[in-house]
Structure 1
């Protein structure tokens, strides 16, 4: 945890990862979060390189548009630096990083964003997501193909459509200028928070924790409380009348806070039994990976999802059909079993042999008259008449006929 009076940055490796692939920066004017991808061989390197390069633009600007241009240029320069690093270290091929940052100029903010880290604005008691995730599932949500709830459990939720790295020489970066005002609280976070902690919980923490350092600590704890299957990094920035949100001196957290290392490390820790028992649904996290944002690839993914959905429907229909067949077979077998039994009773004042059992299923009876004798119930002695009225069970037809023959006249 690192903090000033008006901003704070915190990062945690989580409970499963062996190394922290996130990086964060809180400076005098600049605040950034980056989430590396490419596995243990490059994710931490990518986010650290990006943060270190982008942090070089942390100084005053004459206007917010100037800051916006500087921030966009810094991300492009970081992208080029990552490509050069991969050229020198081929084992890092495929590494990349998300970046979400804000650069404050008075009461305006320049914003730049790529990937699925997020920037939130907490204003007047309301929490609003400012950035849009550059992910495959977000494209599906935006096009109305799936709901946000379905996106949260989608098998391709880890597919990133845009990142910085050696994967795209000219990545498309979202930039904008936003007005801010005293009382605003800005949250920058990696998906280690946003993917596992609900916006309701984030809202509660930001609303109920006035000290930025405590707010950052509580957000990290929220992620740890649900198992923290991924690295989690947050930067919290408060805006007041002074126009100053600086962290002085500027600080870096996560992998950017350590010297760069190009040595491979184990990808993740072994899963601990308490984590699996306490958080069975969120005990593991898939590594994010990049796929090109092209109409052809998107169409291919959508077609594959449709095939998967069709196979799922066929599987469910097959299971339902099998279950229905099993129910029908069980019903037929049960009915046949009932029809192998008999009992002696009365119908229309005469002794009769019934086939079946004396139960019903709703309006359906499970017995029927098999034979009607000439013996009148009223002609029987009192004891025999009472037995017939209560019915007498028989294991088979022969036994039922023997019961009838033994009835005294």
Structure 2
């Protein structure tokens, strides 16, 4: 049966790149996001070819398993078409694309995924990432070597381990089937959104209950406000719900929406010298699928990076402890320049230091026992000494002792 719900798709170049290599599709039963990569127009071509091939699946299926089988075949055919395209147009060598697709079949969502575009499900006020990124840093997260938060800012976060490209005729694609229900909101997006807008803000936008088009606009605005260093593509799919049921022409966005096809620009010559070095264009690919030997180098580099990070934390801790120690030593040294008069058992003594203590550490010590017996003092002087008398210096402390010292007549 035809999917009952509503949907929207939107795509934007972003604030840094000069062209949009993303493509998106929202149809009657099929919903796709493809993030292309490759020099010149390679990414545009790759994501457009993926959308063109997958749109054949926008039809009712007799079962979810039949749709899953068709989706796997279509993704394999897309890889073969990319290889054939590069054979005919060598200037596109190295191009590829991610694909995250959902086919709605009755009460099920059939999901196909390769790369680092994502599929999320918002249900019961909770956002869940349904797909797993096929990236180098995701492997590090899975192995427990870094945290998901560290992965967001890792320098290798854009290195893809799997992608539909012109090198692998048999790509490893994730496909699976999930039950869906009225009220579900599905979000498909390129990493231009997920890499900039965190889950908390995404959840907040989806929770507002706005129609899919307004929700997609809100998410795009957040990505742009966050700098949007990459193309941003968003597809929102509501299952059932209060908004009008989707009827009409499918929505195609991004490079696949170009009605005249993708034109491959001529390569621009670059001039460089020791004064003016050639700079990489803003729309050069940041994604690529590494060879096995390069992956080993990445892993070793990450080990070195982890060691440097640990050494950095250790050095910082040592510096902090050294600063604290130096401060404590300077403070203690200062206390040893102070004096006061007080009582020690039954006599009057001069103390070096201050009356306070730090826990079990006393900040004063007996400097001189004056041999003045407390019992020989007047009641007022004895109470004053027992409460301690602060002196401005050692000389001042000695003068205080002289004033306290009883006369021979008083002791006789």
* TM-score when normalising by structure 1: 0.74
Distance 1:373 1:122 in 2: 81
**CA 1:186–1:328 in structure 2 vs 1: closer, same or farther (change >3 Å)?**
closer
Task: Say if 1:339 and 1:367, in contact at 8 Å, map to a contact too.
Answer: yes
Task: Give 1:66 deviation, angstroms.
Answer: 5.0
**CA 1:28–1:360 in structure 2 vs 1: closer, same or farther (change >3 Å)?**
closer
Correspondence for 1:289: 287
**CA 1:144–1:330 in structure 2 vs 1: closer, same or farther (change >3 Å)?**
closer
Q: Once the two structures are superposed, what CA deviation does each residue of 1:219-259 show, in whole Å capped at 9, x if it has no partner?
A: 33443454544332122234459xx9766323311222235
1:336-375 aligned at under 5 Å gives the runs 336-348=333-345, 350-375=347-372
Distance 1:230 1:326 in 2: 43
Task: Give 1:347 deviation, angstroms.
Answer: 4.0
Distance 2:377 2:63 in 1: 112
Distance 2:82 2:29 in 1: 24
1:243-262 aligned at under 5 Å gives the runs 248-258=248-258, 259-262=261-264
Q: Once the two structures are superposed, what CA deviation does each residue of 1:50-85 show, in whole Å capped at 9, x if it has no partner?
A: 323433554566665554444334333433443455
Distance 2:393 2:203 in 1: 71
Correspondence for 2:324: 327
Contiguous gaps of at least 5 residues in structure 2: 269-279, 408-412
Task: Say if 2:163 and 2:289, in contact at 8 Å, map to a contact too.
Answer: no
Task: Give 1:163 deviation, angstroms.
Answer: 0.9
Task: Say if 1:7 and 1:247, in contact at 8 Å, map to a contact too.
Answer: no
Task: Compute the RMSD of aligned alpha carbons.
Answer: 4.2
Q: How many correspondences in the alignment?
A: 386
**CA 1:104–1:392 in structure 2 vs 1: closer, same or farther (change >3 Å)?**
closer
Distance 1:203 1:350 in 2: 74
Task: Give 1:338 deviation, angstroms.
Answer: 2.3
Correspondence for 1:159: 159
Task: Give 1:339 deviation, angstroms.
Answer: 2.1
1:88-237 aligned at under 5 Å gives the runs 92-104=92-104, 110-122=110-122, 127-177=127-177, 184-199=184-199, 201-206=201-206, 208-209=208-209, 211-224=211-224, 226-237=226-237
Distance 1:87 1:215 in 2: 41
Task: Give 1:188 deviation, angstroms.
Answer: 1.9
Q: Once the two structures are superposed, what CA deviation does each residue of 1:238-282 show, in whole Å capped at 9, x if it has no partner?
A: 4459xx97663233112222352434798549xxxxxxxxxxxxx
**CA 1:366–1:215 in structure 2 vs 1: closer, same or farther (change >3 Å)?**
closer
- SS of corresponding position for 1:151: helix
Q: Once the two structures are superposed, what CA deviation does each residue of 1:75-114 show, in whole Å capped at 9, x if it has no partner?
A: 3343344345555666654332211123455555543221
Distance 2:321 2:328 in 1: 10
Residue of structure 1 aligned with 2:314, choices 294, 312, 317? 317
Task: Say if 1:109 and 1:178, in contact at 8 Å, map to a contact too.
Answer: yes
Contiguous gaps of at least 5 residues in structure 1: 270-285
Correspondence for 1:276: none
Task: Say if 2:5 and 2:239, in contact at 8 Å, map to a contact too.
Answer: no
Task: Give 1:138 deviation, angstroms.
Answer: 2.7
Task: Say if 1:33 and 1:188, in contact at 8 Å, map to a contact too.
Answer: yes
Q: Mean Cα displacement is larger for which, 169-178 or 201-210?
A: 201-210
Correspondence for 2:22: 22
Distance 2:54 2:212 in 1: 23
Q: Once the two structures are superposed, what CA deviation does each residue of 1:306-359 show, in whole Å capped at 9, x if it has no partner?
A: 443233223222322232233333323332332234344454554433222333
Task: Say if 2:339 and 2:392, in contact at 8 Å, map to a contact too.
Answer: yes
Q: Once the two structures are superposed, what CA deviation does each residue of 1:141-168 show, in whole Å capped at 9, x if it has no partner?
A: 4444444444334443322111112343
* TM-score when normalising by structure 2: 0.74
